[in-house]
Amino acid sequence: MGAIGSARPPLVLLLLAGALFFLATRALAEEPNGPAPSDIPKQIEEKNQEIKRLEAEAEKYRATLGDIGRAASTLQAQVGGLDRAIKGLEANIRLTNAKISRTNLEIKELTAGIREKETSIEAQRERLGYLIGALAAGERQSPLEILMKYETLSSFFASIDALLGVQRDLQSLLSNLRAARQDLREQKGSAESKRLELAALLDELADQKALQVEERRERGQLLQETRNQERRYQELLADVERKREALQQEINTLESGLTATFDQSLLPAPGKGVLGWPLPNPIFITQYFGRTAFARSGGYNGKGHNGIDLRAGAGTPVFTSERGTVRAVGDTDLGCRRASYGRWILVDHPSHLSTLYAHLSLVKVRPGDGVNRGELIGYSGRTGYATGPHLHFSVFAKEAVAVGQLKSRVCGRVMTLPVSPFGGYLNPLDYL
């Protein structure tokens, strides 16, 4: 027995070495990895401060644009409104660029964290394999063989304690590994969310730049047409009004030949929230449905207003009021400039209602697209008969509205637009 006890048994050495290796490597793994390789958190905080400043600047322009009325009666007011819209878009572009920079930094920070976590998991896997090997080596020996290697029972039980310690360390390591994997999944999910956020911001930036181009084009065209003279601007307004009246009469004639044939029982019962508001808050109605003051003054050639007008600065996001399918989009300015809906979108809903969004500056959907309630479909503007930016919103019985073509005698070209007998128009406020 003395000869056997002259050297430590191989199994004990293996178990002790395994335990010491595990404890040492775990301690190293838990130590901080030193200072961060970059100052990304500081850069993110700097971007946050920049975004706060730019948000305040953009809000200032949004408040100014919200005060612009439906129409500008002087050239100076019209040009001023266009200039403010352009400056507002410039402020939004600066803000969006700052948000894009911040999101890129956040993605960079998450990517570094993911690499660090993956390295930690790989190290823990190696340690796990080592411990499993140590336990397997112990299990290949019978209890009698192990007992015969020790001079005393106390030495034997000490080795058993060491073995139990390795088992506990193994269980702890497995628990840490599971937690690390869950943390890694969450970090990867956060990184993916940030990438989606970045894609949305890039899309928003492209829209803002397109809107800016549109406003600059409108301003340039207005100054070219008026030669920056108030008299010529007033002549332009008078001509627009004559075209609008004549075109409205043509539309009235076309719609008077239509019959409102639809099943009233299929329509939803009037109630708040059947449809959602197509603009972000706050909502301000500049003209109501039906026999408004403008309608009574002859604005629609004897007919009432077929929707509601909502105040909206150029470039305000426009959302669909309910899920549905885009039936058609169009631009009446292609047939008769400044005389009708301008750029418009018609959406059909499962509730047997259809909604129209008009005077848009930018259209984001195509015919056949499925849309959800509250989805961005375009941006407000001043196309068509709209000397000031606003959104025209109409609600129809779906079976009563058609997309028709009108050969305008006023402009001599064909216009494509939604048409309906007046009985097919519904008061939007019955459903909003």
Q: What is the pTM of this model?
A: 0.76
**202 and 238 inside one domain:** no
pLDDT band of 24, cuts 50, 70, 90: very low
Tell me which DSSP letter residue 268 carries.
P
How would residue 211 be classed by pLDDT, with cut points 50, 70 and 90?
A: very high
Distance CA(78)–CA(70), nearest Å, equals 11
Same-domain pairing of 50 and 161:
yes
d(CA 21, CA 32): 19
Integer Cα distance of 78 and 80 in angstroms: 5
Q: What share of the chain in percent tops pLDDT 70?
A: 79
CA nearest neighbour of 119 among 28, 23, 24:
28
pLDDT attached to residue 187:
86
Half-sphere exposure at residue 124, Cβ-oriented, CA atoms within 13 angstroms: 23
Residue 381 belongs to domain with CATH number? 2.70.70.10
CA distance 389 to 84: 12
392 and 252 co-located in one domain: yes
State whether 238 and 196 are in the same domain.
no
The letter for the amino acid at 274 is: V
**Integer angstrom CA distances of residue 400 from 348, 404, 424:** 11, 12, 5
Give the CA distances from residue 125 to residues 31, 120, 135, 181, 184, in Å, rounded to whole numbers and listed in that order. 18, 9, 15, 11, 15
**Is residue 286 within 8 Å of residue 292, measured between CB atoms?**
no
The mean pLDDT of the chain is 82
Using alpha carbons only, what angle is made at residue 231 by residues 226 and 235, rounded to the nearest 5 degrees? 75
- The residue type found at 386 is A
Question: Rounded distance, CA 340 to CA 356, Å?
Answer: 13
| 53 found inside a domain | yes
What pLDDT shows up at residue 162? 64
Q: What is the dihedral of CA 89, 92, 97, 102, to 10 degrees?
A: 180
In a shared domain, residues 111 and 147? yes
Report pLDDT digits (tens) over 320-346: 999 999 999 999 999 988 889 999 999
- At 44, which amino acid appears? I
Owning domain of residue 116: 2-219
Q: Which of 25-34, 100-109, 404-413 has the lowest mean pLDDT?
A: 25-34
Give 274-315 pLDDT, tens digit per residue: 999 999 998 999 999 987 877 676 666 667 789 999 999 889
Is 224 part of any domain? no
Q: Considering its fold, how many domains does the chain have in total?
A: 2
Residues 112 and 254 in one domain: no
Given a cut of 90, is residue 125 above it in pLDDT? no
**Residue 207 sits in the same domain as residue 328:** no
Same domain, 128 and 241: no
- Could you say which DSSP state residue 264 is in? G
